[in-house]
Amino acid sequence: MTHEQAAQILSGHWLARESIDSLPDDCRPATRAEGYAVQALWPARIGPIAGWKIAATSLAGQRHIGVDGPLAGPVFASRVRGDGVAVSLSGNRMRVAECEVVFGFAQAIEPRAQPWTRAQALAQVAQVMPGIEVPDSRFAQFERAGQAQLIADCACCHEMLLGRPSAALDRLDELAALPVQARLSDGRRFEGVGANALGDPVEALRWFLGEMSAVGQRIEAGHFVTTGACVTPIAVEPGQALEADFGWLGAMRLRFD
């Protein structure tokens, strides 16, 4: 069996909203590079990529899923939604929502050998907006799957909600201090800050561009990247609603079915 068969198994379970324990030994990726080789084969089975995500941008998140650093993966156009919609939790094992800062790109970004500086990363940004990710994994025990399999699983990609783009592109250097507050309809409240995403959403962006360059992945014009949870992932259940306030960046809400 090959990377193609690993991608077929995982993407098939993604479409069916079903889980597996592990990939078969003869097609299980053993390294991060092999994981990215598997995820690169998903679009032929799933459809076009609309953007990208970064998982495990906090030390607590990395410990929770047993990885030694962030992971990147695609977000598919068929699962990108707007503010205020209802999201199904059917078949979702993670059942969490993550409040995140999202950057949009107007121009394609080619892989490069040189490291990305902060200024060069910021120069790629055409939009900044709030986002709420509802991730999931094809692995029943995703905490034990390991980083190679989680990367092959597109870094637990699932549903992504995008808010209204902000006109305040001159405030990107303030994102580390961005206050984020969330409230569930059951009365629970949560608080966080932009710095929870790899110290600064801009640094998460810089890491992402370097990671994609390292694996030879082109970022297309119009794509976005969501940079990781600013608030500790929020456990959610069907019937609940979530409101998220990102301060000057805007606000969002969604319902869970």
46-73: average pLDDT: 92
* Confidence bin at 60 (pLDDT 50/70/90): confident
- Encode pLDDT of 92-137 as tens digits: 999 999 999 999 999 999 999 999 999 999 999 999 999 999 999 9
Give one DSSP letter per residue of 25-72, joined into a string: GGG---SHHHHHHHHTTSHHHH--EEEEEEE--SHHHHHHHT-SS-EE
Please tell me the predicted confidence (pLDDT) of residue 78: 97
Q: Is the pLDDT of residue 197 over 80?
A: yes
Angle at the Cα of 74 from the Cα atoms of 93 and 4, rounded to 5 degrees: 85
* Confidence bin at 36 (pLDDT 50/70/90): very high
Please tell me the predicted confidence (pLDDT) of residue 17: 93
Q: Is the pLDDT of residue 1 over 70?
A: no
Rounded to whole angstroms, the Cα distance separating 224 from 177 reads 21
CATH class label, 3-256 = alpha beta
* C-alpha 149, offset from chain centre: 16
Question: Counting beta carbons within 10 angstroms of the beta carbon of residue 167, is it exposed (0 to 12), middle (13 to 18) or buried (19 or more)?
Answer: exposed
Rounded to whole angstroms, the Cα distance separating 251 from 219 reads 27
pTM of the shown model: 0.97
Nearest by Cα to 74 from 95, 44, 99, 98: 44
* Confidence bin at 45 (pLDDT 50/70/90): very high
* Confidence bin at 59 (pLDDT 50/70/90): confident
The DSSP code for 109 is B
